[in-house]
Chain A
Amino acid sequence: MSTQPATRPDRNELPVVQQIISVMWPSFITASAATILFFTLFDPTELGTIGGFPNLTRTGGYTIGFFCFWLLTSVSCAMTCYFRRPTHRPTETKPEA
């Protein structure tokens, strides 16, 4: 038997709120930085014209760009969170007698 009480969660398990924060928040920061860098180099209206959205306004372009970046970075953060979970847990053996 484990010495820990049954109600106590695994050490590697963070509360749900913190798990959500650790995915959404770092990705938000990196997405913001990426958006600034990207749109400094590229004008969203020009990208829109090339991509077949001639009516795209700049503000719209920035917004869509930001959320695309956020989606990508949050996927990356989520995968990191997922992979850092231990894949194998040693099976608990009952002590003799």
Chain B
Amino acid sequence: MSEPAAKAQEATIEQDLYKKREKIYPREVHGIFAALRILAMVVLLGLYYGLAWVNWDGHQAVLFDLPARKFYIFGLTFWPQDFFLLAMLLIVAAIALFMFTALAGRLWCGYACPQTVWTEIYMWFEQKIEGGSRKQKKRDAGPRDLAYYRVKATKHGVWLAFSLWTGFTFVGYFTPIRELWDAVLVWNLGPWETFWIFFYGFATYGNAGFMREQVCIYMCPYARFQSAMFDHDTLIISYDEKRGEPRGSRKRGKPSAEAGLGDCIDCSLCVQVCPVGIDIRDGLQYQCIGCAACIDVCDDVMDKMGYPRGLVKYTTENSLEGKPTKLIRPRILVYVGILSIITAAMVYVLATRIPLEINIIRDRNVLYTETNEGLVQNVYNLKVINMDQQAQRYNLSVSGLEGLEVIGPTEGIEVESGAVVDLPLRVQVDPIELKSSSTEIMFHIESVLTPELSVTEPARFLGPVLR
């Protein structure tokens, strides 16, 4: 960043800190990147609102069933025990984001961030109802008459309806959405569901309708630390200062050299389209979300002037300085390395995951009892959890002491898919076998049909020591 640009930025930052925020009316823009942004918006919003309604194998395809403490993601079912997989997934997501940032700068911010996507659709509603940015500005500065309130009421009505639908869909990812919809139809929602629909709806309405770029500037942690991932080969949006300066207006079609000026005609359109209200010509700024609206609009102007496109363009610092841009560099290789290791570990864990678990709880009241036959008896309560997609039958056995005997169901224990079965069991043994007052014994459970599906879990067997 050049010296005067830095000063100018400092001045605007100070101004921003002390001045009340003024609403930004970004001018609508058309072009290749605008089209890409709209495409991303349609795809992402379509996924968000649509995926909740997709069914898979008789249940909702993606459902984080909080009331049942089970997560369904297509063919997979996750239990609280699989939490470390979720943790790994989050690590993968974070590192992937770092990598993409190092490569492509704020591509995420400009095209995929929910804040950007929802802001975009809310602005689209606004422009459909209120008209373009100039009309909006005029209306807001004008009299508060009936027409004003009618337009505003329509906009907020549409925004609110869309927000509530967003909130409803959000809750629909945590409780089955079809049941939720039936409950909405007869106005019989549970209190917590109602609360979250309104809470999330309100958050959407506030963030996408009002907060907008302020979320990126003041609230987003990523916006603050993303510069740490940047290097001279990172894709950024930049104004070509060498080509553009000195800026100034001139007649259409007049070559810059004749006018004694740079290619920038100082039309200020790049500032007018910016959703965060900055001037890209001041250099790289942390407020810039990389949406490329300024590229689209400037290319348009360059076409009209008969100048080559790309006065504002996607580029890298190296390329601006006339040096070659390196795609593969140590930083990227490190990210790729870490990513592949964690992803491979995750795939391995997922593939070898045994969808069966037993929890063993010893009877808390009595340490052990002696039977009439003189055997020592311990009481356990087993919870058998079938995390598989289909019902299973299991056989149970106990080992660890000579002559262990199980009283209770041991063969063909039937557990439905996703169900938990309680098994009260007594285990008894001749006290002669006990070498100490507490011995480790093993509960082994395996599927009747697929013996690989098996789990062994230790427990303690208590008893008197006979000498």
Contacts and interface: CB of A to CB of B under 8 A. Distances in A.
B219 A25 contact: yes
Interface string B63-96: 0001111000000000010010000000000000
B392 to A, nearest CB: 23
Interface string A3-47: 000001100001101100110010001000000000011010000
Interface stretch (B120-128, B160-168, B187-195): B187-195
B275 to A, nearest CB: 19
A25 B211 CA distance: 13
Given A15-B17, A40-B80, A40-B83, A57 B192 contact: yes
B66 A58 contact: yes
Interface string B34-71: 00000000000000000000000000000000111100
A65 B439 CA distance: 40
Contacts of A14: 17
B69 A21 contact: no
A62 B199 CA distance: 14
A49 interface: no
A43 B80 CA distance: 9
Nearest to A29: B221
Contacts of B195: 63
B69 A58 contact: yes
B83 A62 contact: no
Contacts of A18: 218
B196 interface: yes
A60 interface: yes
A59 B17 contact: no
B190 A57 contact: yes
A77 to B, nearest CB: 13
A57 B193 CA distance: 11
Contacts of A41: 80
Given A14-B17, A15-B17, A21 B219 contact: yes
A41 B195 CA distance: 25
A59 B192 contact: yes
A17 B206 CA distance: 13
B17 A57 contact: no
A6 B219 CA distance: 30
A29 B222 CA distance: 13
B149 interface: no
Nearest to B199: A63
Interface in B408-457: none
A86 B329 CA distance: 45
A91 B412 CA distance: 84
Interface centre among B175, B190, B191, B218 (most CB of A within 10 A): B218
B18 interface: yes
A40 B191 CA distance: 23
Given A9-B18, A15-B17, A21-B219, A43 B69 contact: yes
A43 to B, nearest CB: 7
A50 to B, nearest CB: 14
A63 B20 CA distance: 35
Nearest to A18: B218
A8 B14 CA distance: 11
B218 A60 contact: no
A43 B68 CA distance: 10
A63 B67 CA distance: 12
A87 B219 CA distance: 27
Contacts of B18: 8-9, 15
B69 A57 contact: no
Given A21-B218, A25-B219, A58-B66, A63 B17 contact: no
A22 B218 CA distance: 8
Interface centre among A18, A40, A57, A60 (most CB of B within 10 A): A40
Nearest to A60: B192
A59 B190 contact: yes
B83 A59 contact: no
A59 B67 contact: yes
Nearest to B193: A59
A8 B15 CA distance: 11
A59 B66 contact: yes
Contacts of A25: 219
Query: What are the 10 closest A-B residue pairs judged by CB atoms, nearest first?
Result: A59-B192, A40-B83, A58-B67, A40-B80, A63-B192, A25-B219, A60-B192, A21-B218, A59-B67, A18-B218
Interface of A: 8-9, 14-15, 17-18, 21-22, 25, 29, 40-41, 43, 57-60, 62-63
Given A15-B18, A29-B221, 20 more contacts: A9-B18, A15-B20, A17-B214, A18-B218, A21-B218, A21-B219, A40-B80, A40-B83, A43-B80, A57-B67, A57-B190, A57-B192, A58-B68, A59-B67, A59-B174, A59-B175, A59-B192, A60-B191, A62-B66, A62-B192
15 contacts: A8-B18, A9-B18, A14-B17, A18-B218, A25-B219, A29-B221, A40-B80, A40-B83, A57-B190, A58-B66, A58-B68, A59-B175, A60-B191, A60-B192, A63-B192
